[in-house]
């Protein structure tokens, strides 16, 4: 029987050795995948790369630490013996009683008001991550991921020496700001923790080398530029909205955190692309599902969701033409279609409550939509906002704060800035103005409107799709719409379909 021996290289990598030389190639093949969209990448087209991502490094026989479970599965499936070193197996696991006692000690508040403590599922996420050291927590938008993160860092700081630090990596500058505000809010009644002093923020233009506290919140774009020595003090790393990190940058950052034995990723969802999933698991650890959006709606933690799928039906002469064009030409036609944009503007203006209109293309779609909506609501006294990557972080935060105090505002925002990590409690309607089939983007965007509003109203999503099908041929974006409906089915969301005839 062939034997695979696994030892710990550092906190980032495990090292394997095999009694049979042929097993090395098998392991390499088992952890090799085609990159998403590899056929369209210049390196592949120019025959400089075979399109494959190899997670096992046969130059030094290493794998990302989080893939240990998958290596064990590989060995079991082939009847190989696996021997794992004691250094890996002997992990200190506090008891659940000990962790519950600690959690009960920490006074928590939300929106300036005391709360009894973490919800059961939040404690499950917190305790699992501490006991396992490495984990990828799946918990949807609105479930309180930032509260779980806060309790993780509090536990780490209270149980490790003063020279040990916590690094929190997020995808956007808006999340850097919001994370610190959340920590300040959670610790309002806790005299033992001063989040204002303890938490340092890093993104473009911020101080990167001198900070007074033991917690650093940074974007991955800033972190990837820092030298390996900068990462030495960190014993815990938490990657929030981890699915948004570029794979190479994530690998680079995690590879420099050689002393961080606590590695926890949090995200609302991960896609079904095996390679993407294994890169996240390799860097953080096995997946642990904390709760689901449907469960949170059923328990009245999140607002109830109603989905209206509006299928725009175009005249035959347009369908004949558009059904034959390539994907980008179809997108260009859709976002520039005057009747379609006017329909969206009229819909946004007619809806009651705060409305979020999400687009993809800034110049071609977002700005024209914003102008149409502004013109349509002129003289109504309603507040109309525009948000894209061009808008400064503090200005975006202002929009969020103002909207939470409004009852009838409209935000026209790019998916890139508002589909992830932006908490708005008072959104009543969401309009998908641009086509998307990404499970992550769809669910994250929906999550923007599921936090319970002050008036207790439910949330309605208007999913707009475009039917340019002709005979048996379906157009690209109609197929995207079908993919979104499959997501709604999988998530057990309620939805209704409506056809809307469009003019020439």
Q: What is the pLDDT of residues 462-492, one digit of tens each?
A: 999 999 998 888 899 999 999 889 888 888 8
Q: Give me the phi and psi of 215, to 5 degrees please.
A: -125, 130
Question: Strand 113-115 vs strand 108-110: parallel, antiparallel, or unpaired?
Answer: antiparallel
User: Tell me, what's the pLDDT at 421?
Assistant: 47
Place of tokens 């130059």: 59
Low-confidence ranges of the chain (pLDDT < 70): 271-275, 393, 418-425, 437-441, 444, 447-456, 504
- Give the DSSP letter of residue 269: -
- Give the DSSP letter of residue 474: P
Cα atoms in the 13 Å half-sphere on the side-chain side of 11: 22
Q: Strand, coil or helix: what is 159?
A: helix
* Two structure tokens written together for 421: 């990590």
* Two structure tokens written together for 193: 């923790």
CATH of domain 3-89: 3.30.780.20
With contact defined as beta carbons under 8 Å apart, do 450 and 297 qualify?
Answer: yes
With contact defined as beta carbons under 8 Å apart, do 342 and 474 qualify?
Answer: no
* Two structure tokens written together for 340: 């379609």
Q: How big is the chain by its Cα radius of gyration, in Å?
A: 24
Q: One fold for both 3-89 and 96-291?
A: no
Domain 96-291 has CATH 3.40.50.300: yes
With contact defined as beta carbons under 8 Å apart, do 269 and 487 qualify?
Answer: no
User: Tell me, what's the pLDDT at 415?
Assistant: 81
Q: In what order do the strands lie in the sheet with 384-387?
A: 384-387, 410-414, 355-359, 429-432, 459-467, 305-313, 495-501
Q: Strand, coil or helix: what is 498?
A: strand
Q: Which residues contact 33 (CB under 8 A, 6 or more apart)?
A: 52, 53, 55, 274, 275, 278
- Give the CATH class of 300-501: alpha beta
Q: Which residues contact 212 (CB under 8 A, 6 or more apart)?
A: 197, 198, 200
* Two structure tokens written together for 264: 């926890």
With contact defined as beta carbons under 8 Å apart, do 332 and 364 qualify?
Answer: yes
Number of continuous H segments (helices) and E segments (strands) in the chain: 21, 22
Q: What predicted TM-score, i.e. pTM, was given to this entire model?
A: 0.77
CA 374 vs CA 222, 291, 347, 416: distances in Å: 36, 39, 13, 22
Give domain limits for the chain.
3-89, 96-291, 300-501
Question: Strand 199-202 vs strand 459-467: parallel, antiparallel, or unpaired?
Answer: unpaired
Looking at the DSSP assignment, which residues form a beta bridge with residue 462? 308, 431
With contact defined as beta carbons under 8 Å apart, do 502 and 317 qualify?
Answer: no
């Amino acid at each position: 029987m062939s034997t695979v021996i696994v030892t710990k290289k550092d906190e980032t990598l495990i090292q394997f050795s095999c009694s049979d030389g042929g097993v090395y190639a098998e392991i390499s093949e088992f952890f090799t995948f085609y990159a998403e969209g590899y056929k369209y990448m210049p390196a592949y087209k120019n025959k400089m790369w075979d399109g494959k991502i190899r997670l096992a490094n046969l130059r030094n026989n290493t794998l990302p630490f989080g893939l240990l479970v998958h290596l064990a599965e590989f060995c079991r499936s082939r009847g190989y013996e696996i021997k794992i070193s004691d250094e890996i197996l002997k992990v200190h696991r506090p008891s659940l009683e000990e962790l519950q006692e600690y959690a009960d000690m920490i006074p928590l508040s939300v929106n300036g008001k005391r709360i009894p403590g973490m919800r059961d599922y939040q404690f499950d996420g917190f305790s699992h991550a501490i006991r396992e050291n490495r984990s990828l927590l799946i918990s949807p938008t609105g479930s309180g991921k930032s509260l779980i993160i806060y309790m993780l860092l509090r536990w780490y700081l209270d149980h490790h020496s003063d020279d040990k630090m916590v690094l929190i990596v997020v995808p956007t500058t808006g999340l850097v700001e919001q994370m610190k505000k959340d920590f300040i809010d959670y610790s309002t009644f806790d005299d033992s923790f001063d989040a204002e002093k303890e938490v340092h923020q890093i993104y473009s233009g911020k101080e990167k080398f001198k900070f007074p506290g033991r917690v650093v919140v940074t974007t991955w774009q800033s972190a990837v530029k820092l030298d390996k020595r900068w990462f030495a003090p960190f014993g815990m790393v938490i990657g929030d909205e981890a699915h948004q990190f570029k794979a190479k940058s994530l690998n680079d950052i995690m590879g420099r955190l050689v002393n961080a034995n606590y590695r926890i990723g949090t995200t609302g969802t991960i896609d079904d692309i095996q390679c993407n999933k294994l890169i996240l698991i390799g860097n953080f650890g096995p997946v642990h599902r904390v709760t689901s959006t449907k469960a949170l709606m059923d328990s009245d933690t999140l607002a109830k969701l109603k989905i209206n799928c509006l299928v725009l039906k175009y005249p035959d002469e347009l369908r004949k033409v558009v059904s034959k064009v390539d994907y980008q030409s179809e997108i260009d036609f859709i976002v520039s279609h005057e009747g379609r944009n006017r329909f969206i503007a009229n819909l946004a203006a007619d809806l009651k409550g705060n409305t979020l209109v999400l687009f993809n293309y800034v110049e071609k779609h977002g700005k024209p939509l914003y102008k149409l909506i502004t013109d349509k609501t002129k003289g109504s006294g309603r507040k109309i906002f525009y948000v894209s990557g061009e808008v400064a972080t503090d200005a975006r935060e202002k929009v969020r704060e103002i909207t939470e105090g409004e009852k009838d505002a409209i935000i026209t925002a790019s998916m890139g800035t508002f589909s992830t990590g932006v908490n708005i409690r008072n959104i009543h309607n969401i309009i998908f103005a641009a086509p998307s089939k990404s499970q992550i983007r769809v669910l994250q965007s929906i999550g923007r409107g599921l936090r319970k509003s002050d008036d207790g109203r439910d949330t309605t999503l208007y999913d707009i799709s475009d039917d340019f099908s002709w005979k048996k041929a379906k157009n690209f974006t109609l197929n995207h719409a079908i993919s979104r409906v499959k997501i709604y089915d999988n998530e057990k969301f309620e939805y209704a379909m409506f056809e809307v005839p469009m003019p020439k």
